[in-house]
Chain A
Amino acid sequence: MAVAAPTQTMNNVEAVRATLYEALKADPRTIVLGEDVGARGNVFLITKGFIEEFGPERIVDTPLAEASIVGIAVGMAMEGLRPIAEIQFADFIYPAFNQIVGEAAKTRYRSNGDYTCPLVIRTPYGGGVRGALSHSVSIEALFYHVPGLKIVAPSFPADIKGLLTSAIEDPDPVLFLEHKRTYRLVKGEVPTGRYTIPIGKADVKRAGDQLTVVSYGLYVHQALDAAARLEGDGMSIEVIDLRSIRPMDKGTILESIRKTRKLLIVHEDNKFGGIGAEIAAMVAEEAFFDLDAPIRRLCGPDVPAMGYAAPLEEEFMISTEQMAETMRELVRF
């Protein structure tokens, strides 16, 4: 009989915090830099107390300038440090777009491997917190088009720890997305001690054989709730948590579809050109004849952002009821 590894209950904020703490403890090359990460301990208190323990040289309160937060981290990485840059909200990442896309993602390529850029950029994203136009966006589709960049978006505490550790140890730049609505909403058991989860590996969070639901972020949790409700109606739904967006796990998705023969993709980012479009195209190319129903996508609407007013935010977000209804339609198709 296997002996259960010791675990600790954590929410997502605590999982990020514990992982950063262990990385800082383990490797003096690790530097955390960003706006308000020091004295304030990050706006979500993720790095609270770090500056006292690790000092202002390693926990760097930067000037308010996102392009150079990433750009300086790129230089640190090229010179042998292991920077973890923070963009306070994903909405503020746009000024750093060139540093991420034009610089970090191309450092290894343009120098033909002479220089590398082992860099993590952490940022909270997503809605459901009344964050209005500029504290709610999803940014993954803007970046997942970019070769040279890796993107992970785990939403369970144990996945966060394993994937953030992998990201910090990765030899290439990783954009690490944290859904802020899950920060204190989601709790779970997290194994103690260092461990990694490979970037690019999805996780089947619920097994089923009548429909495959592929999602990530906050909506994985809602999809699991919806699937649990439908179980009472005799429906068997498989829920895959992508966890990594680039690279993405084709094998797990296709294996599931060949079993369930139906696919629903759910994400908060808007539909047009989103992650779901790429998954749908891949499945159409590779598993068209395995499908018994059209692929469905349940995504954010194609508007610039969710509004501050509660009805505007609620209209943007997909409810668990909507997910259950779409799942029911597909199972019955």
Chain B
Amino acid sequence: MAKAIESPSFERYGLDDDRLRWMLRNMHLQRTLDNRGFQLNRQGKIPFATGSEGHEGIHAGAAVAFSRGKDVLVPYYRDIGLCLGIGMDPLEALLSMFARGADRSGGRQFPNHFTSKAIGMLSISSIIAAHCPHAVGVAYAMKYRKETDRAVLCCFGDGATSEGEWHESVNFAAVHRLPIVFLCENNEWAISTPRERQMAIADVVQKAAGYGIPGVIVEGADPLAVYKTVKDALDRARSGGGPTLVEAKCYRFLSHTTDDDDRTYRSREEIEKHRHLDPVPRFERLLIECGIVTDEGIAEIKKEVLAQVNEVTDRAEAMPFPAPQELYTNVYEGTHEPWL
């Protein structure tokens, strides 16, 4: 069995080989599910899909830093890998894509708007940054109840940091020193609007200074660095140190969604220029160089992940849509009728 080689460029932050291989597997699972969504859309089987290619390193790293059963994740729609990483069943991703009745939202939500109170994953809308004050409210409740082993991980893209509610949220969390980590997954694009049209600063993290909280930049393509940065920030939050803004730099390799065509606003060359930021081959190379996986081992992970994704695809596809009458449930606790 291969033994890890401790090279100067490799800091594993106490994570063992199994955990590192788990992270790589999570990254492949995320990418395979991304591809599956686009495939199903192009086959005409689902109306819509969202991809997160380029975000895998952030998700795998942050997921390991997350304390299962304690922390609360307030994700955004690109966080499929993070949701999987904190315990969401891949079947849920397919149920969401196929809008089946067994989906947790009952087939109501757009794909990738996951929810699960059981694993601590808040329900979100598609309105950018509208979930940030919710995350702050959850963090307030934790502090109010003196739950010092819990924190909130609130995620969003670079575009979200233009929204008023984002600023209001960071400010309130800073004033009250709440146990929350704001994780910006800066992929340089908000649909077709590049970062330099979104803000006049080079780094999102500069915004932290305006609220008196620390801001940290981390390379999103490096899941280990993300793990360390997010873990430190969560630990700080739990110990009463207040919020941190983490900016994980990455690149969005796919169009915004299946309904978007990024050829209308960015060149193929610009995408290729960023290919070195693809976290999956980078992490594979690192783990191979350090003797933690082999080429054959990676092939095995890919094969096994594809088999799993095929299996959940078939299972989800075979399940029924919600019954039409489900339209009327869960409007209120009782009747949905406005006239009593």
Contacts and interface: CB of A to CB of B under 8 A. Distances in A.
Interface of A: 31, 57-58, 62-63, 65, 67-68, 70-81, 83, 95, 98-99, 102-103, 106-116, 147-148, 150, 171-172, 200-201, 246-251, 282
B163 to A, nearest CB: 9
B153 interface: no
Contacts of B125: 102-103, 106, 110
B132 interface: yes
- Interchain residue pairs A-B with the least CB separation, the first 3: A75-B137, A71-B133, A68-B168
A147 B172 contact: no
A200 B340 contact: yes
6 contacts: A63-B168, A77-B137, A99-B133, A115-B122, A150-B332, A247-B337
Contact of A282 (B113, B132, B165, B339): B339
A251 B339 CA distance: 9
B138 A114 contact: no
Interface string B122-136: 110101001011111
B324 interface: no
Given A74-B133, A79-B142, A247-B339, 9 more contacts: A67-B133, A75-B139, A79-B137, A80-B141, A109-B330, A110-B115, A115-B123, A116-B333, A148-B332
A68 B136 contact: yes
Q: Max chain A CB contacts within 10 Å: which of B106, B137, B138?
A: B137
Contacts of B127: 98, 102-103
B141 to A, nearest CB: 4
A74 B115 contact: no
B32 interface: no
A282 B338 CA distance: 11
B130 A147 contact: no
Contact of A201 (B142, B169, B340): B340
Interface string B149-183: 00000000000000011001101100100000000
**Which of A57, A72, A103, A249 has the most chain B CB atoms closer than 10 A to its own CB?**
A72
B172 A109 contact: no
A71 B104 contact: no
A68 B117 contact: no
A107 B124 CA distance: 8
A174 to B, nearest CB: 10
B332 A57 contact: no
Nearest to B127: A102
A63 B137 CA distance: 14
A73 B140 CA distance: 9
B39 interface: no
Interface string B307-340: 0000000000000000000000111110111111
Contacts of A112: 104-106, 108, 329-330
Contacts of B115: 110-111, 114-115
B152 to A, nearest CB: 9
Nearest to B146: A57
A62 B337 CA distance: 35
A108 B340 contact: no
Given A115-B123, A250-B339, A251-B340, A110 B108 contact: yes
Nearest to A65: B168
B212 to A, nearest CB: 13
Contacts of A115: 115, 117, 122-123
A72 B123 contact: no
A72 to B, nearest CB: 4
B255 interface: no
Contacts of A57: 144
